[in-house]
Structure 1
Amino acid sequence: MGAVREAAVTSTYRVQLTPEFGFRELADLVGYLRELGVGHLYLSPILQSVRESQHGYDVIDHSRVRDEFGGQKGLLALAGQGLGIIVDIVPNHMTVPTPESENAPLWSVLREGPESPYANWFDLTWPVDLPVLGDDPELVVDGSVLRYHDHEFPLRAGTEGLPLHELLVEQHYRLVSWRDSPGYRRFFDVSSLIGLRAEDPAVFDATHEVVLSLVADGVIDGLRVDHPDGLADPRGYLRRLRERAPGPLWVEKILMDGERLPADWDCDGTTGYDALNMVTRLFVDPASRDKLVRTFTRHTGLPDDYEAVKYEGKKMVLDLFFRGEVDRLAACLGEPGLRDALVELLAAMPVYRAYVNPGETQDEEATRVIQSAAWEAAGHADPAAVARVAQLVLRGPAEAVTRFQQTCGPVMAKGVEDTALYRWFPLACLNEVGGEPDRFGVSAAEFHAFCTEMRATTMTTLSTHDTKRSEDVRARLAVLSEIPDVWAEAVESWAGAVRFDPKLDYLGWQTLMAAWPISPSRFTKYLLKAAREAKTSISWQNREQGYENGIREFAARAIEMCGYSVASFTAVVDRYARVNSLGQKVIQLMMPGVPDVYQGNEITDFSLVDPDNRRPVDFARRRELLKTGEDSWDGQKLLVTTTALKLRKRLAPDLPYLPIDTGEHAVAFARGDQAVAVATRLPYRLEHRGGWTHETLRLPPGSWLDLLTGAEHTGLIPMAHLLSRYPVAILERNTR
């Protein structure tokens, strides 16, 4: 295999592979990444997806490594570079491509129906509804294929010569309006992604054969499982997977505030959104909550109650996207008249899934979650009907229990992540996946309590391919929590010069400042996506040209008329955002867990939600910075990153997390008796109170070397001395 590879995963570096950036291009970066201190590469999905896909979650063929990346030969060459590999896998769904013939198993199912050897692959009902038809249903029969624009569908054998209306009736599928629900379980509301039945052992084996053979051959060291909540039986799936993939195994599980990963899941932990949200809150001043909410409501006219907005978002998507799923679920309950109560119970669920397993004595926590949701739902529907639905989804028919669990996640994702978080944004750095935007900040004590309960093996992160905004965008926004009055004045001035839609403008001003400098094109694309996700004026299904042109005009005018002022404001914010940026990086890289760095975020990155955060990375600049050691924000963040990653290679992963007492403007902790991390927090207020003055920090016994400055420290040390050069410190026990 070439170079010797490390056994333990000390850190990961997440790379978004694309047709333009495949295995060969990544192999050229291995030297840089090794010098950076990276332990393992962490790759986006590698199996064959739609040819032009920029993300790889739209798999069409599980039997081969993606050609556009260089195929299996290219992957083996990359592995031969000696840096271990973690791979993202997608067990929950495949894509319904255009043309549909590109997905061979699906093509077989559509042609042969229940007689297809792939009939058990997909979670569907016969005949399966395919939502593709627009306003001009001009269907063409071409031999054994039915064509509609770029779509193509196989004809059932023997039906080719029938009149069109008879031919359509005889197929194993029905073509319906693109606005209708499909006849299959899908990924969230995306009809082009069809649910797989990974609970079937034969389906599991066929869809995992290539990946697991690469694990067995030592090419891949570990796996990251996409969207486990979509599976019929996540626990059973993980047990089966672990039997053949004994290495590191993480799940992309979104944990809401205070929620814990199910104890019976055989995996190493989550991909880190829970850690991300805790780290972000650590740099937010909770004292600003009321002022920021007032500024938000004044500019938007929206309510100050986030829970009400969240409820409205869930109810909207249940009606807009999930009527088909709700109908099938209501039918599974086996009793009439329960649909309204079912909708309210789904809307009241506080988490993505409660993990009820059919036929088993129910977990106490799962029962508590569903019963508390039923209590909430009873305020919106017949209490007796709600109680009955709750009983049925806990102990009723197996299919009802399972489908309820599989439906909760999509409702949360679309109703909260992709609706409510685009409607309620007093401080947008809190509007992250799994975040609660009405929880303004945590104390150092709360953060320490969180860390002391963390697994040593779980993943931590600050940015991913799915975050709403990058870590440095959030670092800037967190500063606003320390200057709510100054911010209110600034945004009042900008809004007085350029206005468009009150429900969108305030998010626009936060974004313009936090992502500055940003081109009108990038700003426009973000606002268009934000407006479509919010669904208050337009949506992905209803794109009103006049409104969208208004967004384009707003974006251009905001930059043209207010750009100079925004730049000046951001320059002031950056004095403190740099402190937040470095602080959150030190904490994330040194706290318990396996730290992940998203591509490019070893220096500043001001990306927004996808696809903005999947743009090509300027690795030439990062390589040059690593050589020159430039003393800029970029250079300092790179220094912090490489120092911490290299230190983690020298530390045992399960070293105890030991809080160190500090004042409110710092957070510090030791990792066993080997390392200490210190970060400044709430830097604006620290500066305006006069700095550190006489505040001190007591280091654990022994002599400590500051790896960033080379200074040696021991005992009780003034904070002003410890943090005189950088607002953070990474200390290692001095054994000389």
Structure 2
Amino acid sequence: MSKAIPLVATYRLQLRDGVDLDKARELLPWLATLGISHLYLSPPFHAASGSTHGYDVIDPTRIDPVLGGEAAFQRLSGAAQRAGIGIIVDIVPNHMAFTPENPWLADVLRHGRGSAHAAIFDIDWDAGPLHFPVLDGAIEDLLAQGHLAPAGDADDPRLRVYDREYPLRPNDLSRHLCGVTRTLDAPTLDALLAEQHWSLGDWRTSADRITHRRFFNVTDLIGVLQEDPEVFALTHRWIIEQVEAGHIQGLRVDHVDGLARPGGYLQRLRDAVGDTPIWVEKIVKTGEDFPSAWPVEGMSGYEFMTPLTRLLTSREGLATMRETSIDAVPPDYGREVRKVRRELLEQVFTPELRRVAGAALTALALDEGARAQVSEAVGRLATVWPFYRSYAADLAPLSPAITQAIDGLTEDTTVASLIGLLRAPDDPHARAFAVRFEQLTGALTAKSEEDTVFFRSVAFLPLCEVGAEPDLGVIDDATFAAGMAKRADRTPLALDTLSTHDTKRSADARAVLVALSHFPDFARELYTDARQRGREAGVSEQWALYALQTALMLRAEPDAPERINAHVAKAMREGKDLSRHEAPNTAAEAAIAQLCRALHHGLATGELLPDRLRGDFEAAIETIALAQTALQLTAPGIPDIYQGSEGLAVALTDPDNRRPVDWGALALGQLPALAARKLELTRILLTQRQERPDLFTCGTYALRTDEDSWIVERTGEGEAFSVHIPMPKRHSADCLKDVRAVD
């Protein structure tokens, strides 16, 4: 392994969409001038055709050719070593792409559970063949339209379905069809499909036939059995080789909560990569932490964003926004979440619920006659589960928060029996149930909260964010400082992030709404006006408030109208009340988008943002944006800068947050005033971190107020640093007012 590079700051780069590994290599000089110590890459592995993000891996043992392949990675690694910059790679152990493009899965399609690769994937073979709900209509109609046809040849028989080719069992029928006749009629197709280890169905009606573990409810992703040491060795072979060769200096583990036993997986990974830093993508609620036994540097930073937002938000303004939203948004966040969870269990997570109930039946030694009763008990328990998972599968005890949340259900004897299974460390069937239940609760929590109710409980969108909750309140500087002190003590190398590829809105977008909270009277006027416009347009007042906040965030973006159209459609489908991904209501989406564009126009022309307020409001936005940056770059932990956010980056939910970055403009300084000041502040503070890395990661942390500023003070080992950060009420943004370093 190469000599360790001191951790100062990471820079998250999204590969694909015009950014390959050679482009990453070209950016190294820019990162060096910023003061970045580590380039943090999104997954570079061979992914499904047309992948825009890389999390749909088809082969984790090779670099994707579209990114330049292995040669490009070696060029990048060599250049990074010469520049003194480390490489962090985002790895995806939980799942792979569920597509016949996946060579290991293709072999499973051909040979079934007898395939040499069948043990890689989490498949319930007892529930039936692997099911692909990919058809858009009746199979006989699609055959007549030419969407299904023989492919390959007698030695490699396949069935073409749309633009994908599915391997067939090599028998007389498939060889004859693909090698001789090359034609297919409906009776023959029925006979052919009946012989396969997989099946096809309409995506609208056959999802309950799915037999593989999905990532959340994404059918195109299949779970991987990392608890098997041989599977771990195979899927991590390339990663371990690159770490040992000194080409990788850090790993970020995607979706650790999806794994059967995260603690065991992380220990195996630690044993394989030695002291190479490991971070986990883990989402925690307020008051929750990840298990202390995990051998990792920390989490990937969501837990840092929420306290910072709560510190910067005005208590009075937040109360005003919530008061002015009454009767437009759900009145009780927790109740709304529970309602959505029940709906998802009944309509979306039916395959997962079936598997959990089956594991419970086995563990409780019950027959199929008890399935309905057990399924109901699982649903009741999962509906009130307060966290993503309990780690009972890793033999961790149930936390007091979980015990409190489920207390009202224990009178139900079946629910009580399920809880008993979670507390039964020596029973292998109980452990199997715990794994399945926790994989369900993680997915259910994410889909019900982040991907549904965060688009309904919209009184204040900065708290509708990964790691936050819409009903949280503000915190004072003492509470924030105590959290940072704990962070310095427990996870001094955890990542501190403000924006990621998964945040609903970037830090600079959230800053606009946080600034609005410091103008409560103005906020009341805007919210009241938006609701009135919604009524007049005959659209949902809830979505009118969402449209207003979106228009505010995009108020200065020249391409706002086009981005509004795309974002509103996605947001409404995520919200699942007026529109859904499965059944888009394009008329409702168009009406809300039109309202959003009208509000955006009103903000631009002065109708909604009068000149008497514009200067103070823009100054407050600048103050918040720079305060976020200053607090991030001076906090314990390792700052993680999302691509382009070293300047001004106003972005909404992906794919909006993966738009191209103009690094040329950043390097040349061709920037608006706020972007230029933010870039200057970033460089200055990262220089301070470079000069005193131990002080900033491990030194003591204090935050106090002095008239109209926060003062951050860091001390340790004979070194000291302080910075004054103006508060929003100043309507000023001079974060460089007083930066002092004392040796």
> How does the TM-score come out when normalised to structure 1?
0.88
In the alignment, the residues of structure 1 paired with residue 253 and residue 707 of structure 2 have an alpha-carbon distance, to the nearest angstrom, of 38
CA gap of 1:677–1:341, structure 2 versus 1, over 3 A, is farther
Q: Choose from 9, 15, 18 the match for 1:17.
A: 15
Cα shift at 1:537: 0.8
Q: Say which SS state the counterpart of residue 528 (structure 1) adopts.
A: helix
Query: Is residue 176 from structure 1 mapped to residue 201 from structure 2 by the alignment?
Result: yes
Letter in 2 for 1:105: W
Asked if structure 2 preserves the Cα contact closer than 8 Å seen for 1:342 and 1:389, the reply is yes
Structure 1 match to 2:179: none
In the alignment, the residues of structure 1 paired with residue 19 and residue 195 of structure 2 have an alpha-carbon distance, to the nearest angstrom, of 45
In the alignment, the residues of structure 2 paired with residue 631 and residue 564 of structure 1 have an alpha-carbon distance, to the nearest angstrom, of 20
More helix by share: 2
Cα shift at 1:483: 1.7
Asked if structure 2 preserves the Cα contact closer than 8 Å seen for 1:349 and 1:369, the reply is no
In the alignment, the residues of structure 2 paired with residue 615 and residue 259 of structure 1 have an alpha-carbon distance, to the nearest angstrom, of 33
Asked if structure 1 preserves the Cα contact closer than 8 Å seen for 2:41 and 2:89, the reply is yes
Query: Is residue 149 from structure 1 mapped to residue 176 from structure 2 by the alignment?
Result: no
Alignment of 1:85-124 (within 5 A): 85-97=87-99, 100=100, 102-124=101-123
Cα shift at 1:35: 0.8
In the alignment, the residues of structure 1 paired with residue 515 and residue 409 of structure 2 have an alpha-carbon distance, to the nearest angstrom, of 38
Alignment of 1:619-698 (within 5 A): 619-625=663-669, 632-653=673-694, 654-663=697-706, 665-673=708-716, 674-680=719-725, 682-684=727-729, 686=730
Q: What do the CA deviations read for 1:382-434 (whole angstroms, capped 9, x no partner)?
A: 63332222222332622211111111111011000001111002111111101
Asked if structure 1 preserves the Cα contact closer than 8 Å seen for 2:317 and 2:523, the reply is no
Asked if structure 2 preserves the Cα contact closer than 8 Å seen for 1:603 and 1:637, the reply is yes
Q: Say which SS state the counterpart of residue 352 (structure 1) adopts.
A: coil
Cα shift at 1:675: 3.8
Query: Is residue 372 from structure 1 mapped to residue 404 from structure 2 by the alignment?
Result: yes
Alignment of 1:337-356 (within 5 A): 337-356=373-392
Structure 1 match to 2:417: 388
Q: What do the CA deviations read for 1:465-497 (whole angstroms, capped 9, x no partner)?
A: 110101011111112222222112123335545
Cα shift at 1:236: 0.9
In the alignment, the residues of structure 2 paired with residue 59 and residue 529 of structure 1 have an alpha-carbon distance, to the nearest angstrom, of 24
Query: Is residue 522 from structure 1 mapped to residue 556 from structure 2 by the alignment?
Result: no
Unpaired segments of 5 or more residues in structure 2? 152-156, 177-186
Q: What do the CA deviations read for 1:254-274 (whole angstroms, capped 9, x no partner)?
A: 111111110111111000100
Asked if structure 1 preserves the Cα contact closer than 8 Å seen for 2:477 and 2:703, the reply is no
Structure 1 match to 2:25: 27
Alignment of 1:198-213 (within 5 A): 198-213=226-241
In the alignment, the residues of structure 2 paired with residue 679 and residue 351 of structure 1 have an alpha-carbon distance, to the nearest angstrom, of 37
Asked if structure 1 preserves the Cα contact closer than 8 Å seen for 2:481 and 2:703, the reply is no
In the alignment, the residues of structure 2 paired with residue 114 and residue 10 of structure 1 have an alpha-carbon distance, to the nearest angstrom, of 48
Q: Say which SS state the counterpart of residue 308 (structure 2) adopts.
A: helix
Structure 2 match to 1:412: 445
In the alignment, the residues of structure 1 paired with residue 733 and residue 339 of structure 2 have an alpha-carbon distance, to the nearest angstrom, of 49
Letter in 1 for 2:516: L
Letter in 2 for 1:16: Q
Q: Say which SS state the counterpart of residue 659 (structure 1) adopts.
A: strand
In the alignment, the residues of structure 2 paired with residue 280 and residue 402 of structure 1 have an alpha-carbon distance, to the nearest angstrom, of 34
Structure 2 match to 1:712: none
Asked if structure 1 preserves the Cα contact closer than 8 Å seen for 2:626 and 2:733, the reply is no
Q: Choose from 504, 512, 515 the match for 1:468.
A: 504
Q: Choose from 474, 485, 491 the match for 1:452.
A: 485
Q: Choose from 336, 341, 348 the match for 1:314.
A: 341
Asked if structure 1 preserves the Cα contact closer than 8 Å seen for 2:92 and 2:254, the reply is yes
Asked if structure 1 preserves the Cα contact closer than 8 Å seen for 2:159 and 2:166, the reply is yes
Cα shift at 1:40: 0.8
CA gap of 1:643–1:424, structure 2 versus 1, over 3 A, is same
Q: Say which SS state the counterpart of residue 338 (structure 1) adopts.
A: helix
Q: What do the CA deviations read for 1:152-179 (whole angstroms, capped 9, x no partner)?
A: 3222121426833232222112223313
Q: Say which SS state the counterpart of residue 705 (structure 2) adopts.
A: coil
> How does the TM-score come out when normalised to structure 2?
0.87
Q: Say which SS state the counterpart of residue 712 (structure 2) adopts.
A: strand
Query: Is residue 167 from structure 1 mapped to residue 169 from structure 2 by the alignment?
Result: no
Structure 2 match to 1:303: 330
Structure 1 match to 2:184: none
Structure 2 match to 1:716: none
Q: Say which SS state the counterpart of residue 297 (structure 1) adopts.
A: coil
CA gap of 1:571–1:318, structure 2 versus 1, over 3 A, is farther
In the alignment, the residues of structure 2 paired with residue 728 and residue 527 of structure 1 have an alpha-carbon distance, to the nearest angstrom, of 40
Asked if structure 1 preserves the Cα contact closer than 8 Å seen for 2:543 and 2:592, the reply is no
Q: Choose from 429, 437, 450 the match for 2:462.
A: 429
Q: Choose from 54, 57, 60 the match for 1:56.
A: 54
Q: Choose from 303, 306, 309 the match for 1:280.
A: 309
Asked if structure 1 preserves the Cα contact closer than 8 Å seen for 2:260 and 2:393, the reply is no
Q: Choose from 613, 629, 634 the match for 1:585.
A: 629
Cα shift at 1:729: 4.1
Q: Say which SS state the counterpart of residue 163 (structure 1) adopts.
A: helix
Unpaired segments of 5 or more residues in structure 1? 688-722
Cα shift at 1:119: 0.5
Higher alpha-carbon deviation: 256-265 or 121-130: 121-130
In the alignment, the residues of structure 2 paired with residue 725 and residue 404 of structure 1 have an alpha-carbon distance, to the nearest angstrom, of 51
In the alignment, the residues of structure 2 paired with residue 307 and residue 564 of structure 1 have an alpha-carbon distance, to the nearest angstrom, of 39
Q: Choose from 214, 217, 222 the match for 1:186.
A: 214
Letter in 2 for 1:353: R
Structure 1 match to 2:258: 230
Q: Say which SS state the counterpart of residue 441 (structure 2) adopts.
A: helix
Higher alpha-carbon deviation: 502-511 or 631-640: 631-640
Structure 2 match to 1:508: 547
Structure 1 match to 2:471: 438
CA gap of 1:91–1:540, structure 2 versus 1, over 3 A, is same
Cα shift at 1:540: 0.6
Cα shift at 1:572: 4.1
In the alignment, the residues of structure 2 paired with residue 305 and residue 88 of structure 1 have an alpha-carbon distance, to the nearest angstrom, of 37
In the alignment, the residues of structure 1 paired with residue 109 and residue 659 of structure 2 have an alpha-carbon distance, to the nearest angstrom, of 36
Q: What do the CA deviations read for 1:680-715 (whole angstroms, capped 9, x no partner)?
A: 46523x56xxxxxxxxxxxxxxxxxxxxxxxxxxxx
Cα shift at 1:43: 0.5
Letter in 1 for 2:158: V
In the alignment, the residues of structure 1 paired with residue 672 and residue 53 of structure 2 have an alpha-carbon distance, to the nearest angstrom, of 34
Cα shift at 1:145: 1.8
Asked if structure 2 preserves the Cα contact closer than 8 Å seen for 1:249 and 1:269, the reply is yes
Q: Say which SS state the counterpart of residue 423 (structure 2) adopts.
A: helix
Q: What do the CA deviations read for 1:114-149 (whole angstroms, capped 9, x no partner)?
A: 111100011012222222222232343515222332
Considering only aligned residues, what root-mean-square deviation do their CA atoms show, in Å? 2.3
CA gap of 1:199–1:570, structure 2 versus 1, over 3 A, is farther
Query: Is residue 554 from structure 1 mapped to residue 595 from structure 2 by the alignment?
Result: yes
Structure 2 match to 1:710: none
Cα shift at 1:560: 4.4
In the alignment, the residues of structure 2 paired with residue 331 and residue 631 of structure 1 have an alpha-carbon distance, to the nearest angstrom, of 59
In the alignment, the residues of structure 2 paired with residue 724 and residue 232 of structure 1 have an alpha-carbon distance, to the nearest angstrom, of 48
Higher alpha-carbon deviation: 165-174 or 401-410: 165-174
CA gap of 1:528–1:613, structure 2 versus 1, over 3 A, is same
In the alignment, the residues of structure 2 paired with residue 725 and residue 367 of structure 1 have an alpha-carbon distance, to the nearest angstrom, of 44
Q: Choose from 332, 345, 368 the match for 2:359.
A: 332
CA gap of 1:477–1:679, structure 2 versus 1, over 3 A, is farther
Asked if structure 1 preserves the Cα contact closer than 8 Å seen for 2:337 and 2:453, the reply is yes
Asked if structure 1 preserves the Cα contact closer than 8 Å seen for 2:93 and 2:235, the reply is yes
Q: Say which SS state the counterpart of residue 662 (structure 1) adopts.
A: strand
Q: What do the CA deviations read for 1:34-61 (whole angstroms, capped 9, x no partner)?
A: 0111111000001111232221111111
In the alignment, the residues of structure 2 paired with residue 146 and residue 308 of structure 1 have an alpha-carbon distance, to the nearest angstrom, of 47
